[in-house]
């Protein structure tokens, strides 16, 4: 057992690794296989590794059984230079990763004093004076491992090496994984290896279906340099073109990417809404900040998703003033000033109500832009008998108001709310760019 520092100074030269190009991620946990939990750790780790030029070639989710863990470690080490496991390190009976690690590396588990001290301090800070035997067990690690201490949980991260390849075993809790990866493992890998760079740019295209887009840019795609790869990612009615460049010089890659993106403009320039940002809420944030415009929301069927989407962008407090979720019909009248006559005449899920909601929202929050939604997310029909999947939304920019209708009966409640919200922000971006 070594601390990171000692390990660095004398063990390192024993296995200087040239290659650190690709990684395999192993997610250990029955809760993911049973559909109880979505694996978000792999997504986070893959992004972080990509940013330092390490490509993830496989993500494998397995159950928490010693033999399965061992055989998966074996195939992962054959495939990747780096193996990262998450999960299976909790204090309870169903976590078997540590035993599997020790067996796989032909090692034993022993108490690591430094880890135990760290654990005690951690628990005392959290007001837990009594240290259970079960907690003490968490300070047992394979003797050949290098421990990276976990500052936000009780399970330590263990690094092992085999034939010049590395593995890291982390707990499964996302807010423990994130700092371990970001603050400890990534800096460590950057320091130890000469890494390739991977640069990515995303071009957001609207108004062309994926297949027609593919036809239009086919020549451009076929002429791309060999170190550039293209992917199509449809998100709602938007298509994201992802260009990934791999090489040794970051600046060269960036110039290459910019060059290729510029060549797209003569072909599909009118349909491109962004070439740097990936997420629609970030694209919106940039435009609103640049144009110094403020925005507010009045939601019914989207239940707060529109506000959440806009505010999920850090710095959104500069342009997002506020929102109302007017779920009950009466509140559309009370708070947003939608006239009762209009509701009676056209029903609550109607073009007219959407328009009045946006109007009332703009007045309430005194913003340049307001967005409104009224519809039926399902699974039950609307109070007014309107069909599931129907929504009217209004985008009001200063004095100009446009109302749209969407009918998506095939989407379930959650997908409907997500799709509609993405589409509204996307439409707004289109309107603002065209101005």
Q: Please give, one letter per residue, the 3-state secondary structure of 283-310.
A: HHHHHHHHHCCCEEEEECCCCCHHHHHH
| Cross-strand pairs, 203 | 241
Residue 358 binding a copy of itself, by CB under 8 A: no
Whole-angstrom distance, CA of residue 230 vs CA of residue 235: 16
For the bound state, the minimum distance from the C-beta of residue 56 to a copy of itself, rounded and expressed in Å, comes to 5
Residue 314 binding a copy of itself, by CB under 8 A: yes
Among 380, 385, 434, 435, binds a copy of itself (CB under 8 A): 380
**DSSP H helices in 217-300:** 218-222, 250-268, 280-291
Among 4, 52, 55, 293, binds a copy of itself (CB under 8 A): 55
For the bound state, the minimum distance from the C-beta of residue 320 to a copy of itself, rounded and expressed in Å, comes to 5
For the bound state, the minimum distance from the C-beta of residue 415 to a copy of itself, rounded and expressed in Å, comes to 5
Residue 114 binding a copy of itself, by CB under 8 A: no
Binders of a copy of itself in range 145-164 (CB under 8 A) = 151-152, 154
- The answer to whether the beta carbons of residues 318 and 431 sit under 8 Å apart is no
Instruction: Please give the size of the binding site for a copy of itself, defined by CB under 8 A.
Output: 105
- The answer to whether the beta carbons of residues 223 and 275 sit under 8 Å apart is no
Which C-beta is closer to a copy of itself: that of 101 or that of 213? 213
Binders of a copy of itself in range 282-301 (CB under 8 A) = 297
Residue 30 binding a copy of itself, by CB under 8 A: yes
Whole-angstrom distance, CA of residue 358 vs CA of residue 420: 16
Which C-beta is closer to a copy of itself: that of 2 or that of 419? 419
Both structure tokens of 302: 């989207």
Binders of a copy of itself in range 74-113 (CB under 8 A) = 90-94
For the bound state, the minimum distance from the C-beta of residue 274 to a copy of itself, rounded and expressed in Å, comes to 15
Q: Give the range of 104-112, 132-140, 264-272, 426-434 binding a copy of itself by CB under 8 A.
A: 132-140
For the bound state, the minimum distance from the C-beta of residue 109 to a copy of itself, rounded and expressed in Å, comes to 18
Q: What SS3 state is found at 83?
A: strand
Which C-beta is closer to a copy of itself: that of 227 or that of 312? 312
Which C-beta is closer to a copy of itself: that of 4 or that of 216? 216
For the bound state, the minimum distance from the C-beta of residue 35 to a copy of itself, rounded and expressed in Å, comes to 3
CA distances from 128 to 132, 134, 195, 214, 384 (A): 10, 13, 42, 59, 54
Residue 135 binding a copy of itself, by CB under 8 A: yes
Q: How many residues does the chain have?
A: 435
Among 17, 31, 114, 368, binds a copy of itself (CB under 8 A): 31
Which C-beta is closer to a copy of itself: that of 8 or that of 135? 135
| Cross-strand pairs, 234 | 239
49-82: string of b/e by CB count within 10 Å (b at 16+)? bbebbbebeebbbbbbebeebeebbeebbeebbb
Q: Give the range of 30-38, 106-114, 158-166, 259-267 binding a copy of itself by CB under 8 A.
A: 30-38
| Cross-strand pairs, 201 | 243
CA distances from 120 to 92, 114, 159, 171, 375 (A): 18, 10, 21, 18, 53
Question: Is the peptide bond preceding residue 379 cis, with omega within 30 degrees of 0?
Answer: yes
Q: Give the range of 188-196, 252-260, 390-398, 407-415 binding a copy of itself by CB under 8 A.
A: 407-415
Q: Give the range of 80-88, 188-196, 267-275, 305-313 binding a copy of itself by CB under 8 A.
A: 305-313
Whole-angstrom distance, CA of residue 302 vs CA of residue 386: 16
Residue 60 binding a copy of itself, by CB under 8 A: yes
Residue 378 binding a copy of itself, by CB under 8 A: yes
Residue 43 binding a copy of itself, by CB under 8 A: yes
Binders of a copy of itself in range 204-243 (CB under 8 A) = 209-212, 214-215, 218, 221, 229-234, 242
Binders of a copy of itself in range 241-270 (CB under 8 A) = 242, 244
- The answer to whether the beta carbons of residues 100 and 85 sit under 8 Å apart is no
Distance of CA 249 to the CA centre of its chain: 27
Residue 370 binding a copy of itself, by CB under 8 A: no
Torsion of CA 267, 268, 269, 275, to 10 degrees: -110
């Amino acid at each position: 057992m070594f601390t990171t520092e000692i390990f660095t100074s004398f063990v390192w030269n024993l296995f200087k690794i040239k290659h650190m190009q690709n990684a395999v991620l192993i997610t250990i946990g029955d809760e993911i296989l049973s559909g109880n939990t979505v694996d978000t750790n792999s997504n986070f780790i893959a992004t972080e590794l990509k940013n330092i030029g390490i490509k993830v070639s496989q993500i494998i989710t397995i159950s928490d059984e010693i033999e399965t863990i061992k055989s998966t470690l074996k195939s992962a080490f054959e495939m990747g230079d780096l193996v990262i496991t998450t999960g299976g390190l909790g204090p309870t009976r169903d976590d078997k990763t540590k035993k599997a690690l020790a067996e796989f590396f032909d090692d034993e588990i022993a108490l690591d004093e430094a880890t135990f001290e760290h654990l005690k301090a951690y628990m005392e800070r959290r007001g837990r004076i009594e240290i259970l035997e079960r907690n003490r067990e968490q300070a047992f690690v394979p003797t050949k491992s290098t421990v990276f201490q976990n500052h936000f949980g009780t399970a330590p991260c263990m690094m092992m090496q085999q034939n010049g390849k590395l593995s890291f075993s982390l707990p499964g809790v996302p807010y423990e994984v994130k700092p371990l990866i970001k603050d400890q493992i990534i800096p460590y890998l950057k320091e130890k290896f000469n890494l390739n760079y991977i640069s990515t740019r995303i071009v957001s295209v609207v108004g062309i279906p994926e297949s027609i887009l593919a036809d239009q840019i086919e020549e451009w795609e076929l002429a791309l340099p060999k170190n550039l790869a293209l992917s199509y990612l449809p998100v709602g009615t938007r298509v994201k073109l992802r260009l990934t460049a791999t090489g040794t010089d970051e600046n060269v890659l960036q110039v290459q990417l910019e060059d290729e993106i510029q060549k797209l403009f003569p072909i599909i320039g009118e349909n491109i809404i962004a070439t740097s940002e990936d997420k629609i809420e970030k694209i919106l944030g940039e435009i609103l900040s640049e144009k110094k415009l403020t925005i507010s929301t009045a939601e019914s069927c989207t239940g707060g998703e529109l506000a959440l989407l806009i505010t999920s962008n850090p710095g959104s407090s500069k342009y997002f003033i506020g929102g109302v979720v007017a779920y009950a019909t009466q509140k559309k009248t009370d708070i947003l000033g939608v006239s009762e006559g209009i509701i009676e005449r056209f029903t609550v899920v109607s073009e007219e109500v959407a328009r009045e909601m946006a109007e009332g929202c703009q007045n309430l929050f005194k913003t340049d832009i307001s967005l409104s939604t009224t519809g039926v997310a399902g699974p039950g029909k609307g109070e007014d008998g309107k069909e599931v999947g129907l929504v009217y939304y209004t985008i009001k920019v200063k004095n100009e108001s446009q109302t749209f209708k969407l009918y998506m009966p095939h989407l379930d409640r959650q997908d409907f709310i997500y799709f509609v919200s993405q589409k509204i922000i996307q439409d707004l971006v289109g309107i603002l760019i065209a101005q």
